[in-house]
Amino acid sequence: MQKVQSYTTTRTQTFDLIISALLIALVFVATVFINIKLPTGNGGLVHLGTGMLFIASILFGPKKGALAGSVGMALFDLMSGWTLWAPGTFIARGLQGYIAGKFAWSNGRNGNSIGFNLLGMVLSIPVMLAVYYVYEAILYNSWIMPAASIPGNLIQNAVGMIVAIPVCLVLKKIPLFSK
């Protein structure tokens, strides 16, 4: 009996690891290959990585959403010349993924409530903005300069939500994701 439980636990942990790695890779790829550099100020990029972060959080919950967002986007920063931003991204996107997933999965909803999914995404945005704002203020030694990146970050999040909502609606119809 113990061998069966041990095998089942190991198999579940392995599956969990595989899903986490795939989510990290999907966030990274969505950030790398589909991004537009904004011409204004420090606004950074508009990319589909935010949409993938929201999708991961809604479909798999707060822990996997946080892991996918923080590691996937920090890896992008490290590999694409935005290295200085990686620590801030790790924190901002980890918190954003966790908050979005926590609301989507609260009270046993498991990402099945469009309203709570949307609420989680919306409430994660000010936290992400605040972390980036403080991080930029430290980098630039200015509390004014970081304000220039807020519009770009808002656009990026709006695009992410516009992508995530219909994708999650479709994926939730698949038995694997409807649990």
Residuewise pLDDT in 10s, the chain (179 residues): 556 567 678 888 999 999 999 999 999 999 998 888 777 656 567 899 999 999 999 999 999 999 999 999 999 999 998 899 999 999 999 999 999 999 999 999 999 999 999 999 999 999 999 999 999 999 999 999 999 889 989 999 999 999 999 999 999 999 887 76
The pTM (predicted TM-score) of the whole model is 0.93
Query: Domain locations in the chain?
Result: 2-171
List C-alpha distances in Å: 92 to 9, 66, 114: 32, 9, 24
- What does the CA dihedral 62, 37, 33, 128 come to, rounded to 10 degrees? 0
**Look-up of token digits 């999040």:** 157
Q: What is the dihedral of CA 174, 165, 92, 129, to 10 degrees?
A: -170
Residues forming beta bridges with residue 71, ordered by sequence position: none
Tell me the sheet residues that pair with 35. Answer: 47
CA dist 27 → 76, 102, 129, 162 (Å): 9, 19, 19, 16
CATH number of 2-171: 1.10.1760.20
Smallest Cα–Cα separation from 21: which of 56, 55, 58, 48?
56
